[in-house]
């Protein structure tokens, strides 16, 4: 059945193996192998050898994972079927060089197991028989080969993961080859379990293994390992190798303490920093540290704790050495305690009371802590430090014992006996192991001499001495071996150690022991090294005061001294001890009231309170006690002295007192029994939790309340620290913080509230940051937050905003949590409007908050961003008052700080752009809003009207409300940016760029701000740069900017230049020039004047006023007359300006009579009339002048007569105007009319027939009639026209012409031919060269006639005027007729005069009339000449 099973499974296994081999993928291969392994583990019987080759084949599989797995399986097979080892191991040896590290590692791991098991088998088999079986022997041979391979790998230079494993193998090898001191010496009965295997079970006569050889090999291997860490070699190692090396070595050192002496020096001298850097050094250092720390726990003498601590100090830079020392002392101390307990086992059995006291003591050796550890009132403080002294004490005392002064130190000897013994025992831990080792080696006889030598050479001399001494224990006790006088001593020791103790109460024993340990070496005492003793005494006194103990102490003395009286001669005097003892007791009890006197109330309460607090009072008191205690044993001997001494309170005097006592005792008495100082225990009152809390609270309150006294005495700093510390220590139910807060806030100033608060905050912050436990830091952090917040809020509520306390507190706090920042924020950005209005001091609050924020930003880089955020939020607050304050801070103070400039700018820019963004999104609501905006645009100038027009639509009201709020909103967002613009003008460009897309309310907001802003900025170069290149769509804004810029004093030439340039190149809108009009040079203004005229009337008015007004410095740019002349010099066709605009401009001027006065007009007309050709609008202006100033009529007549001389009739338009003028100025104009040549007169009368009758009547007056030529009279019909045909002909032709013109104007359908013919006839009669004129006239006639009809009454036709001008020029230039030549000269003369007159006009109005008269006379004389 079994066979079948076997065969079955064998087939299966083979199948699995071959399928694993044949599979090409990794996953199925591994799957097969896993199954194979599982089956193998199940299989209990003989291994199928056929399987091996298959597995061996798989060892060279392509996949690393497969090879690794196979190696693992082979290892298991090897462990199970030893007989296969000779086959398996060679392959493993081959495989350890596998290129995949994981495979190699696996091979080493398997090999280690195989090696160990084989070694065990060999060892065990060799024990039982002298021959090994062949198979095992060959296995062993192979294993040795394997071992050598791996070892060479481990010691090879290089760094690899495989090497780590190899080194681990070496470690295992060393451990295997050396005896385990802690293991059993007995050989296992059969094949033992791994852990129990110990090479020391090998005895001599093993056929293969020799324990000495093995030790030597192990030692060599260890040497090789150590060599790697020695200096130059270690350089080439990487840190993981070093770590593993160090760890391995430490493991060896720990498990085989005998090697400590070799390993530790190497490790200690290893200084990774010298050859490694960075990470590697850190890692290596860390490993070293770990090792050293663990070695410190090792009690082997070779461990050299001092050097370890030193090395640790070096590594840690002092950080962790405290811990190391603690650790060391703790372990040693505890061992001591343990041992001392063991040591006193015998007496303990006899006296159960002793057990408790000693156990209590030993616990104290381990954990020294406060009041919690009062076990039965035997509170003793045997700290590790004092425990450490013990060896030396005992050593010294031993010397003392062997010395001469035997009798003088009986008690000392007795007390030191315990520790002395215990030390021996304590040291035997490792020493014992060595002893055992020596024993084992010695037991082997001569064979082991070599090993012994190695062992001896490897341990230090000290250690060897210890071993020898330890071994002496094994020598049976023999009294005779001790020398002479010491007999008594030994006896004495026995008595004290055992019998005598029966009589002693446990407390005494504890006291004695603790003192003996607590005190410095006896030798120090002998040397009178009192201060040391004092220190010890102080430490003692740090313990609790227990009144109850005093009686016990007395009892101790009472019973103790008689007990020793048997053995010492001193004891006879010991009888005298009693009275002083009583004295002493009283003294001590007196000490407590003394302490009370410093406090005030309840004795017990106060005592424990002070003891808890460790206040100076208590210190003093304990010093006092100290003095009395140290004196106490002396009291036992010399009462009188001690009484004196106990009255001395100063510890120093105590010291000297002791000193003198020592000397005195040394002389008067035998010697030092007085140094056995019974220990004083503290009074321990067990309080319930509630009572404790109560006490603590009272304490706390007391300190809090004592501020007056304390501050007077100058201890307030201490008090602050104390309160802060206690606050942390006390449980939260007491709520110490609240008490403190109440105290602080009850009178912040006089209670030094700030200092105390800051102290508390720092303490709490330190607690929170101290990287302690999660819970303590979290608790402290929340306490911190609450405390700061409470105080801050209270300061806010109780102090006026002008107070600086809060700001100071925030500035001094170590850290500002979010809640406090929020509080600050509530200052700077108060939330709801209602609340704000209620709080009258609100504005000041904001100032307070902002100034706090400001100082925080300056002084606290850590929370700078948070604070800045607050300030910025405040700067866009919806309330203007707050906003302006914040903006002032941000723009004036913060913006100039380079580290936050960028942030502020970004924020402001965001806000600026958000305005555009949010408005555009609002627009998305519906189109109604846009419509609304448009409407508003239209109605901008007339808001009430707008609201009426809008009110019709229901929805509009709401949207209007929205838009009005959004003006405020826009302003809210923009103000900060504008403020920044004043600081950095370049920012202003963004305002321009958003302007185009900005909605109406935003624009409004911008416009509202611009004047202030621009005025502040002035015309800086940055601003000019912006102006020079404004983004399209920002014209309105630009206009306002310019306006503002030019409002003040004289604008800079750069500005003017920029604007001019802008106007010339980019913006054709002449409005842009407006602001600088007054500052432009006259010529420039004249040049652009046509543009001005072309503006709508209102704007022209504005421009006009600017031009006339000019700037304050340079006076008016143009005088009114110049303006008028400029207007008249505009040629509509040439300048592309509609005639209507020009006439409107004229009208505008005439409308302003106070500027364009009579005199001005006269001057202007005077100038105009001299222009050749006459301005087109001249007659119109003359007419207007007559209309406006009737008083000018005389002057006008002058003009008219001059026009006659200029042959006004040649220009039809002006001729019409002339006639109109004459008509409107009749009858004065008759004179002028009569000056006309007869044909023209006839024409005039034909045109305005209404003139004929009055003119004829005028002319018929005899004196006039006589002066008139006959032809004229003929025209008037005063004489029959028989005179000459020529005249009539001319007249006829004239009539024809005028008729033709009339016809044309009336019918409005004049053909070109007719027009042409008319002038032809006209020119034929007058001039010879009119053909040219005709041509010109005919060309322009279509327009001219078209216009003429409309303008007949008021304005002169364009076309006609034009042709007139050209005609006139030609006429005058080319062919001046004889008649006109004179006129021309006189004209030019008079024009000169007029110019002069013009200047006079400005000066005096009075001279005006005279000049006019002069002119008149001159002109009339000219006519007469003609």
Partner 1 sequence: MRFRYAMVCSSNQNRSMEAHALLKRQGLDVASYGTGSHVKLPGPSVREPNVYDFGTPYKQMFDELRRKDPELYKRNGILQMLKRNLSVKLAPQRWQDNAGDGVFDVVMTFEEKVFDSVLEDLNNREQPLMKTILVMNLEVKDNHEEAAIGGRLALELCQEIEGNEAWEDTIDDIVAGFEKQHRRKLVYSISFY
Contact residues for partner 1 (CB under 8 A)?
101-102, 108-109, 112-113, 159-161, 164-165, 168-169, 172, 194-195, 238-240, 243-244, 247, 250-251, 278-280, 282-283, 286-287, 290, 293-294, 728-733, 767, 771-783
Residue 1352 burial by CB count (10 A; 0-12/13-18/19+): exposed, middle or buried? middle
Q: Which is nearer to partner 1, 237 or 970 (CB)?
A: 237
Taking the complex as a whole, the smallest distance from the CB of residue 285 to partner 1 amounts, in Å, to 9
- Helices 1178-1188 and 1120-1128, interaxial angle, to 10°? 140
Taking the complex as a whole, the smallest distance from the CB of residue 869 to partner 1 amounts, in Å, to 19
Are 249 and 289 in contact by the 8 Å Cβ rule? The answer is no
* The CA-based dihedral angle spanning residues 624, 625, 626, 629, taken in that order and rounded to the nearest 10 degrees: 130
Taking the complex as a whole, the smallest distance from the CB of residue 819 to partner 1 amounts, in Å, to 11
Taking the complex as a whole, the smallest distance from the CB of residue 163 to partner 1 amounts, in Å, to 9
Q: Which is nearer to partner 1, 175 or 1183 (CB)?
A: 175
Rounded-to-integer distance, Cα 868 and Cα 870, Å: 5
Which helix or strand (DSSP H or E) is residue 742 part of? helix 736-746
Q: Which is nearer to partner 1, 193 or 840 (CB)?
A: 193
Q: Which is nearer to partner 1, 562 or 817 (CB)?
A: 817
Q: Which is nearer to partner 1, 160 or 1036 (CB)?
A: 160
Taking the complex as a whole, the smallest distance from the CB of residue 106 to partner 1 amounts, in Å, to 10
Q: Which is nearer to partner 1, 216 or 281 (CB)?
A: 281
Residue 482 burial by CB count (10 A; 0-12/13-18/19+): exposed, middle or buried? middle
Are 1342 and 1359 in contact by the 8 Å Cβ rule? The answer is yes
Are 1218 and 1174 in contact by the 8 Å Cβ rule? The answer is no
Q: Which is nearer to partner 1, 238 or 398 (CB)?
A: 238
Which two tokens mark 1342? 């279509």
Rounded-to-integer distance, Cα 10 and Cα 48, Å: 6
Which helix or strand (DSSP H or E) is residue 77 part of? helix 64-80
Q: What is the DSSP letter of 670?
A: S
Taking the complex as a whole, the smallest distance from the CB of residue 168 to partner 1 amounts, in Å, to 5
Which two tokens mark 1107? 């031009």
Q: Which is nearer to partner 1, 121 or 679 (CB)?
A: 121
Q: Which is nearer to partner 1, 485 or 862 (CB)?
A: 862
List Cβ neighbours of 161 (8 Å cut-off, separation of 6 or more).
101, 105, 240
Nearest partner of 1159 among 1194, 1138, 1200, 1189, judged by Cα = 1189
Q: What is the DSSP letter of 814?
A: S
Taking the complex as a whole, the smallest distance from the CB of residue 169 to partner 1 amounts, in Å, to 7
Rounded-to-integer distance, Cα 199 and Cα 120, Å: 9
Which two tokens mark 1153? 């009579």
Rounded-to-integer distance, Cα 180 and Cα 219, Å: 14
Residue 510 burial by CB count (10 A; 0-12/13-18/19+): exposed, middle or buried? buried
Q: Which is nearer to partner 1, 155 or 578 (CB)?
A: 155
Taking the complex as a whole, the smallest distance from the CB of residue 120 to partner 1 amounts, in Å, to 14
Phi/psi of residue 1333, nearest 5 degrees? -60, -40
Taking the complex as a whole, the smallest distance from the CB of residue 250 to partner 1 amounts, in Å, to 8
Q: Which is nearer to partner 1, 283 or 1139 (CB)?
A: 283
Q: Which is nearer to partner 1, 194 or 1354 (CB)?
A: 194
Taking the complex as a whole, the smallest distance from the CB of residue 165 to partner 1 amounts, in Å, to 6
Taking the complex as a whole, the smallest distance from the CB of residue 568 to partner 1 amounts, in Å, to 51
Taking the complex as a whole, the smallest distance from the CB of residue 732 to partner 1 amounts, in Å, to 3
Rounded-to-integer distance, Cα 881 and Cα 885, Å: 6
Are 226 and 269 in contact by the 8 Å Cβ rule? The answer is no
Taking the complex as a whole, the smallest distance from the CB of residue 101 to partner 1 amounts, in Å, to 5
Taking the complex as a whole, the smallest distance from the CB of residue 398 to partner 1 amounts, in Å, to 37
Give me the residue label for tokens 């481990």.
Answer: 154
Rounded-to-integer distance, Cα 207 and Cα 1410, Å: 162
Taking the complex as a whole, the smallest distance from the CB of residue 734 to partner 1 amounts, in Å, to 9
Q: What is the DSSP letter of 890?
A: I
For the chain, state the CA radius of gyration: 63
Q: Which is nearer to partner 1, 783 or 1080 (CB)?
A: 783
Nearest partner of 1360 among 1376, 1375, 1345, 1339, judged by Cα = 1345
Taking the complex as a whole, the smallest distance from the CB of residue 222 to partner 1 amounts, in Å, to 18
Measure the N-to-C terminal CA separation of the chain; round to a whole number of Å.
Answer: 169
Residue 462 burial by CB count (10 A; 0-12/13-18/19+): exposed, middle or buried? exposed
Taking the complex as a whole, the smallest distance from the CB of residue 699 to partner 1 amounts, in Å, to 15
List Cβ neighbours of 1070 (8 Å cut-off, separation of 6 or more).
1063, 1088, 1091, 1092, 1094, 1095, 1103
Q: What is the chain's length? A: 1426
Give me the residue label for tokens 């000169």.
Answer: 1392
Taking the complex as a whole, the smallest distance from the CB of residue 410 to partner 1 amounts, in Å, to 46
Q: Which is nearer to partner 1, 159 or 529 (CB)?
A: 159
Q: Which is nearer to partner 1, 192 or 715 (CB)?
A: 192
Rounded-to-integer distance, Cα 397 and Cα 408, Å: 12
Q: Which is nearer to partner 1, 35 or 779 (CB)?
A: 779
Q: Which is nearer to partner 1, 287 or 1358 (CB)?
A: 287
Q: Which is nearer to partner 1, 783 or 806 (CB)?
A: 783
Rounded-to-integer distance, Cα 293 and Cα 321, Å: 9
- Helices 64-80 and 26-42, interaxial angle, to 10°? 10
Are 1035 and 998 in contact by the 8 Å Cβ rule? The answer is no
Rounded-to-integer distance, Cα 1364 and Cα 1385, Å: 21
Rounded-to-integer distance, Cα 485 and Cα 942, Å: 131
């Amino acid at each position: 059945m079994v066979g079948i099973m076997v065969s079955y499974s064998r087939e299966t296994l083979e199948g699995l193996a071959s399928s694993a081999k044949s599979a090409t993928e990794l996953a199925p291969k591994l799957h097969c192998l896993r199954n194979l392994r599982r089956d193998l583990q199940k299989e209990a019987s003989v291994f199928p050898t056929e399987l091996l080759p298959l597995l061996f084949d798989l060892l060279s599989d392509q996949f690393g994972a497969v090879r690794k797995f196979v190696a693992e399986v082979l290892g298991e097979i090897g462990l199970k079927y030893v007989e296969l080892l000779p086959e398996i191991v060679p392959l493993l040896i081959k495989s350890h060089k596998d290129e995949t590290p994981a495979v190699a590692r696996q091979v080493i791991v398997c090999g280690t197991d195989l090696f160990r098991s084989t070694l065990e088998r060999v060892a065990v088999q060799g024990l039982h028989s002298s021959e090994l079986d062949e198979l095992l022997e060959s296995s062993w041979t192979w294993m040795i080969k394997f071992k050598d391979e791996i070892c060479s790998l481990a010691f090879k230079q290089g760094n690899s993961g495989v090497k780590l494993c190899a080194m681990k193998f070496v470690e295992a090898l060393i451990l295997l080859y050396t005896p385990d001191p802690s293991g059993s010496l007995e050989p296992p009965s059969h094949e033992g379990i791994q852990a129990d295997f110990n090479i020391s079970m090998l005895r001599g006569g093993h056929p293969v293994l020799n324990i000495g050889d093995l030790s030597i090999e192990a030692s060599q291997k260890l040497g090789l390992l150590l060599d790697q860490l020695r200096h130059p070699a270690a350089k080439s190692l990487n840190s993981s190798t070093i770590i593993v090396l160090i760890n391995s070595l430490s493991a060896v050192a720990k498990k085989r303490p005998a090697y400590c002496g070799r390993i530790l020096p190497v490790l200690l001298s290893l200084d990774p920093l010298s050859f490694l850097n960075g990470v590697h050094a850190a890692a290596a250092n860390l490993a070293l540290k770990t090792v050293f720390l663990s070695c410190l726990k090792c009690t082997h003498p070779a461990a050299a704790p001092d050097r370890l601590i030193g090395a640790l100090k070096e590594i840690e830079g002092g950080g962790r050495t405290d811990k190391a020392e603690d650790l060391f002392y703790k372990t040693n101390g505890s061992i001591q305690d343990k041992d001392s307990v063991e040591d006193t086992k015998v007496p303990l059995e006899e006296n159960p009371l002793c057990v408790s006291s000693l156990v209590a003591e030993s616990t104290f050796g381990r954990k020294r802590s406060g009041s919690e550890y009062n076990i039965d009132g035997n509170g003793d403080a045997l700290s590790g430090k004092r425990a450490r002294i013990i060896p030396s004490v005992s050593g010294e005392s031993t010397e003392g014992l062997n010395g001469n002064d035997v009798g003088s130190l009986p008690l000392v000897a007795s007390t030191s006996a315990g520790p002395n013994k215990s030390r021996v025992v304590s040291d035997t831990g490792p020493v014992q192991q060595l002893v055992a080792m020596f024993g084992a080696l010695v037991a082997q006889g001569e064979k082991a001499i070599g090993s012994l030598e190695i062992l001896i050479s490897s341990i230090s001399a000290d250690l060897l001495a210890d071993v020898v001494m330890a071994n002496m224990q094994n020598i049976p006790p023999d009294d005779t071996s001790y020398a002479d006088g010491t007999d008594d001593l030994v006896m004495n020791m026995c008595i004290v150690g055992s019998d005598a103790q029966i009589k002693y109460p446990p407390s005494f024993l504890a006291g004695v022991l603790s003192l003996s340990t607590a005190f410095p070496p006896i030798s120090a005492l002998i040397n009178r090294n009192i201060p040391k003793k004092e220190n010890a005494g102080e430490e003692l006194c740090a313990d609790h005061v227990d009144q109850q103990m005093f009686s016990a102490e007395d009892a101790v003395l009472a019973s103790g001294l008689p007990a020793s009286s048997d053995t010492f001669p001193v004891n006879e005097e010991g009888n005298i001890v009693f009275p002083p003892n009583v004295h002493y007791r009283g003294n001590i009890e007196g000490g407590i009231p003394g302490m009370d006197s410093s406090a005030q109330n309840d004795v017990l309460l106060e005592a424990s309170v002070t003891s808890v607090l460790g206040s100076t009072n208590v210190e003093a008191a304990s010093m006092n006690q100290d003095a009395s205690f140290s004196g106490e044993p002396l009291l036992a001997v010399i009462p009188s002295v001690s009484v004196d001494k106990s009255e001395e309170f100063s510890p120093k005097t105590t010291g000297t007192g002791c000193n003198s006592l020592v000397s005195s005792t040394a002389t008067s008495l035998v010697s030092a029994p007085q140094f056995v100082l019974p220990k004083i225990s503290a009074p321990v009152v067990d309080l319930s939790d509630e009572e404790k809390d109560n006490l603590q609270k009272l304490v706390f309150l007391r300190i809090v309340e004592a501020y007056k006294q304390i501050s007077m005495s100058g201890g307030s700093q201490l008090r602050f620290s104390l309160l802060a510390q206690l606050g942390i220590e006390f449980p939260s139910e007491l709520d110490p913080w609240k008490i403190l807060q109440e105290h602080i806030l009850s009178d912040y100033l006089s209670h030094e509230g700030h200092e105390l608060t800051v102290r508390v905050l720092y303490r709490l912050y330190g607690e929170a940051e101290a990287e302690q436990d999660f819970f303590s830091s979290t608790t402290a952090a929340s306490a911190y937050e609450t405390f700061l917040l409470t105080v801050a809020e209270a300061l806010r509520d109780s102090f006026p905003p002008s107070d600086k306390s809060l700001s100071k507190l925030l500035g001094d706090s170590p850290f500002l949590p979010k809640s406090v920042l929020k509080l600050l924020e509530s200052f700077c950005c108060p939330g709801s409007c209602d609340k704000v209005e209620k709080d009258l001091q609100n504005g000041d609050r904001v100032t307070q908050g902002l100034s706090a924020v400001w100082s925080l930003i300056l002084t606290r880089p850590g929370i700078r961003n948070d604070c800045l955020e607050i300030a910025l939020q405040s700067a866009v607050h919806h309330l203007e008052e707050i906003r302006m304050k914040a903006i002032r801070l941000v723009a004036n103070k913060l913006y100039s700080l380079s580290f936050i400039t960028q942030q502020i700018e970004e924020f402001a820019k965001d806000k600026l752009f958000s305005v555009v963004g949010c408005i555009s999104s609002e627009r998305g609501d519906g189109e109604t809003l846009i419509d609304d905006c448009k409407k508003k645009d239209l109605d901008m100038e007339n808001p009430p009207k707008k609201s009426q027009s809008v009110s019709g639509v229901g929805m509009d009201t709401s949207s209007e409300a929205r838009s009005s709020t959004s003006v405020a909103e826009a302003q809210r967002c923009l103000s900060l940016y504008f403020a920044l613009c004043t600081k950095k003008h370049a920012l202003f460009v963004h305002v321009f760029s958003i302007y185009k897309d900005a909605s109406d309310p935003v624009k409004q907001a911008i416009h509202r701000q611009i004047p202030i802003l621009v005025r502040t900025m002035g015309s800086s170069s940055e601003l000019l740069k912006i102006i020079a290149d404004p983004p399209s769509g920002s014209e309105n804004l630009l206009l306002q900017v310019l306006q503002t810029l030019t409002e003040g004093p004289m604008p800079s030439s750069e500005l003017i230049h920029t604007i001019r340039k802008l106007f010339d190149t980019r913006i054709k809108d002449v409005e842009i020039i407006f602001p600088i009009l007054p500052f432009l040079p006259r010529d420039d203004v004249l040049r652009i004047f046509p543009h001005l005229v072309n503006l709508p009337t209102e704007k022209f008015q504005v421009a006009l006023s600017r031009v006339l007004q000019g700037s304050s410095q340079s006076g008016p740019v143009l005088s009114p007359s110049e303006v008028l002349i400029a207007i008249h010099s505009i040629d509509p066709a040439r300048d592309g300006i509609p005639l209507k605009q020009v006439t409107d401009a004229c009208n505008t001027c005439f409308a302003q009579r106070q500027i364009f006065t009579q005199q001005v007009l006269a001057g202007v007309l005077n100038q105009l009339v001299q222009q050749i050709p006459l301005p087109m609008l001249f007659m119109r202006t003359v007419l207007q002048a007559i209309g406006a100033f009737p008083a000018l009529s005389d002057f006008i007549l002058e003009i008219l007569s001059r026009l006659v001389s200029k042959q006004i009739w040649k220009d039809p338009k002006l001729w019409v105007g002339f006639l109109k003028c004459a008509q409107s100025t009749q009858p004065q104009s008759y004179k002028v009319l009569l000056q006309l040549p007869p044909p023209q007169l006839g024409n005039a009368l034909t045109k305005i027939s209404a003139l004929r009758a009055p003119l004829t009547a005028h002319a018929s007056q005899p004196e006039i009639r006589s002066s008139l030529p006959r032809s004229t009279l003929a025209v008037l019909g005063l004489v029959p026209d028989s005179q000459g045909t020529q005249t009539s002909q001319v007249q006829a032709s004239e009539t024809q012409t005028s008729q033709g013109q009339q016809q044309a104007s009336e019918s409005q359908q004049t053909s070109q031919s007719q027009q042409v013919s008319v002038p032809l006839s006209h020119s034929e009669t007058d001039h010879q060269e009119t053909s040219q004129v005709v041509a010109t006239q005919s060309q322009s006639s279509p327009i001219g006639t078209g216009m003429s009809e409309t303008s007949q009454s008021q304005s002169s036709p364009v076309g006609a005027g034009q042709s007139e001008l050209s005609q006139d020029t030609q006429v005058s230039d080319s062919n001046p007729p004889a008649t006109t030549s004179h006129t021309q000269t006189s004209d030019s003369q008079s024009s000169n005069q007029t110019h002069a007159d013009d200047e006079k006009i400005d000066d005096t109005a009075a001279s005006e009339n005279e000049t006019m008269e002069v002119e008149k006379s001159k002109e009339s004389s000219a006519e007469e000449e003609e």
